[in-house]
A and B are shown apart, each in its own frame.
Chain A
Amino acid sequence: MSEETPTIQLPDPAKLVVSNSPHMRDKPTISKIMFTVVVAMAPACIAAVLFFGLAAIEVLLLCTLSCVVFEEGWNKLTKRPSTWKDGSAILSGILLGMNLNAGAPWWICLLGGFLAMILGKQLYGGLGYNPFNPVLVARVGLLIGFPGIMTTWDKPALGVFAVDGVTTATPLGLAPGETFIGDMLLGNVGGCLGETSAVALLIGGAILLYFKLIKWEVPLSFIGTVFAITGIMHLVDPTVYHSPFVHVLTGGVLLGAFFMATDMVTSPMTHKGAWIFGFGCGLITSLIRLWGSYPEGVSFAILFMNALVPLIDRSTIRKPFGFITPAKGEA
């Protein structure tokens, strides 16, 4: 028996924590995930500021502030713990700004923040419980309430850091043939802040994919479906229907496919479900764009598919490892 020398210290059992396994946790937390998505939004934000000037900064900041204030206000009102530090309200704010026009008035930003945070998120119980993408709830709410403001887009003024008073239609509103793919790739076209620069959105999408924060199936099937359907129609009659490149590179398809449809809370959890979800988004977007009364259909398409997520999740329950189909007659 070894003598217990005073130099050997043993743990104090009274201070030992007893809890269930596992006793290790991976590094990511909700806020780390949210702030990584914010970083992925940075290229598109920078592009927006380059094309639309200070007005873009104003809209982005106002929306972010408004979302954080409404979320915290609600938490105070309902005596819940503060949640803004998890980053989800900040992310929603930036995304909301990306969905607005550079010339959007200040009160639109505030109202958007209210719709997103209160109507779109907190009324359902807060983070994780909202069935619909809060930002799209706000965008569609504003579109229905103020169609004029929400469908007028400032024309970008490259390199000019000042508010540009000239407004324009989105390329989808123009007749086929009037658009130029190069401009669309860089972002030199009319549209909301986040929709303009395809290159910036693709860089952001690549960041999200690299950190595995989105399921690659969603953007692939979403964009692929839009490309396929609009491509077929373009082949049928190029004078009436835009080329599929125009459809994919303009409007909200890239923004929607990489940043909105992939919202974790409101998209399916399985990979099979992600394929179905992306396909549905692409299908509805194409139908609205080609034959609907709105030139743009991404927001409606994603919201509609959000509503179907519980059903998709339920119908894509996978078979566990080692599953054997029960023989007929067995339970």
Chain B
Amino acid sequence: MSDKPRKFKGGVHPDDSKALSSHKAIQEAPLLDCYKVIMHQNIGAPPELVVKKGDVVKKGALLAKAGGFVSVPLHAPTSGTVKSIDKIPGPTGISVPCIEITADGEDEWASPFEPIADWKNAEPAVLKQRVWDAGIVGMGGAGFPAHVKLSPPEGKKIDTLILNGAECEPYLTADHRLMLEQAEEVVLGAAILARILGLKTAVIGVENNKPDAIEAMNKVAGKHNIQVQALPVNYPQGAEKQLIYAITGREVPVGKLPMDVGCVVQNVASAVAVVDAVVKGIPSIERVTTVTGKPLVNPGNWKFRIGTPISKALELAGGITEQPAKLLLGGPMMGIAQSSLNVTVMKNTSGILLISNDEVSQYTSEPCIRCGRCVDCCPMQILPATISQAVENKRFDWAEKLNVMACIECGSCSYSCPSHRPLNQQFKRAKVEIQAGLRKKG
């Protein structure tokens, strides 16, 4: 590994607005009397329910077990009674099953796992099983089950573990605060993950705009032989493929996975969850989330139980001073716009963001003037403007030839377009159409 990170081609520099919450220490959110745990929180198969209405559960008790290898179990955020198992509108607007728990206020532990204090001498397979049992997913936003990434198929050799602390999305500061306040846990998590993969070391990539976090991590990194790599500020530096390139110089081939170039990437928050699971025996039932935005009275970072309604999170942040234009789960570049305050915090909810009206002046899209800004900033080096033309003509075959499937949906093209064309949206559509076409063919 070189000292200087490589710069990926393209990228954009949106105003990061992180100062709203980056100086606010993580606060523990108070216990609520009701949590709504959305069932399907991971990419892959949904978990299978093991409780029924009326059951009394303790904090950390299993609510649903993994529904396959690419699936993770779900645990109770607090002790109480299962009030209902109903469908509620999920973060994408589609109805999803949800387990509602009425808290008894005791917050009594179920102690689902024995802590593995001597993790250094534990079998990697045992540690990996614990990561799975604890229901840990990629907490940066994707929600991909962590144990799957830790299970390279036979013949694929992993030589580099990267912890993603880039946090390149504007506004979000949850990972920043985590690295600053829980540097020891992040580094310890890296060491445990490295042991599972049979590696001696790991690299933690952090964007340069968090010098205090880099310093805090550097102080403790030596203990477990972990390296901290400062990265240039360039959105999307935290995208998996761009991060691997910056740190190792390897390009993940189109349509392949990081493990195909010998890399595993885990989010720093996931690493902390691994420490909780292994060393403390706590399943993934809480996470640090940034609640921010200019319309909020008191933006900050909170540790929420999974299942906390967004409305409660906004109340903790003091409510609003003006009606926002948008409510997002995640950051402003890739986050999902919400139409309801009833959606709840999930394992991959890195941010709850309110965008004010003057930040999203709504545009009419104008004709492409072929300025090439999207071509210059595309981190995947495809040709957004040309693909957009193909999609407008419903030539999805043409879009596929132009490598639309390589698109990582980072939104840089739409961000940069002076004609405000819905490029990202068109590519998402093209990808869906192409996949539907493949399924039809069989």
Contact = CB atoms under 8 A, between A and B. Distances in A.
Interface stretch (A178-186, A230-238, A297-305, A315-323): A315-323
A20 B370 contact: no
A25 interface: yes
Residue picked from A17, A23, A270, A319, most chain B C-beta under 10 Å: A23
Nearest to B360: A23
Contact of B338 (A16, A24, A86, A215): A16
Given A10-B315, A17-B325, A320-B381, A264 B337 contact: no
A1 B12 contact: no
Interface in A291-331: 313, 317-324
A4 B314 CA distance: 11
Interface string A11-33: 11101111111111110111011
Interface stretch (B41-49, B60-68, B250-258, B431-439): B250-258
Given A11-B341, A29-B418, A128-B367, A16 B324 contact: yes
B326 A17 contact: yes
Nearest to B354: A11
B339 A269 contact: no
Interface stretch (B118-126, B157-165, B268-276, B409-417): B409-417
B385 interface: yes
B406 A11 contact: no
A32 to B, nearest CB: 7
A12 B319 CA distance: 11
A126 B312 CA distance: 51
A2 interface: yes
Contacts of A1: 31-34
Nearest to A3: B315
A215 B372 contact: yes
B218 interface: no
A254 B350 CA distance: 52
A78 interface: no
A77 interface: no
A162 interface: no
B208 interface: no
Contacts of A22: 332-334, 411-412, 414-415, 424
B362 A17 contact: yes
A120 B142 CA distance: 48
A322 B249 CA distance: 11
Interface size band for A: 35 or more
A265 interface: yes
B198 interface: no
Interface string B238-269: 00010001000001111010000000000000
Nearest to A18: B337
A129 interface: yes
Contacts of B372: 215, 264, 269-270
B304 to A, nearest CB: 14
A13 B341 CA distance: 7
B211 interface: no
B70 interface: no
B420 interface: yes
Contacts of A270: 372, 375, 383
A324 B326 contact: no
A8 interface: yes
B402 interface: yes
Contacts of B256: 322
B341 A10 contact: yes
Contacts of A15: 323
Interface in A128-161: 128-129
9 contacts: A8-B318, A11-B295, A13-B327, A22-B332, A25-B415, A29-B418, A215-B372, A266-B370, A269-B386
Interface of A: 1-2, 4, 7-13, 15-26, 28-30, 32-33, 86, 125-129, 213, 215, 264-267, 269-270, 313, 317-324
Interface of B: 8-9, 12, 14-15, 30-34, 93, 170, 241, 245, 251-254, 256, 295, 311-312, 314-316, 318-321, 323-328, 332-341, 354-355, 359-360, 362-363, 366-373, 375, 379-383, 385-386, 402-403, 406, 409, 411-412, 414-420, 422, 424-425, 428
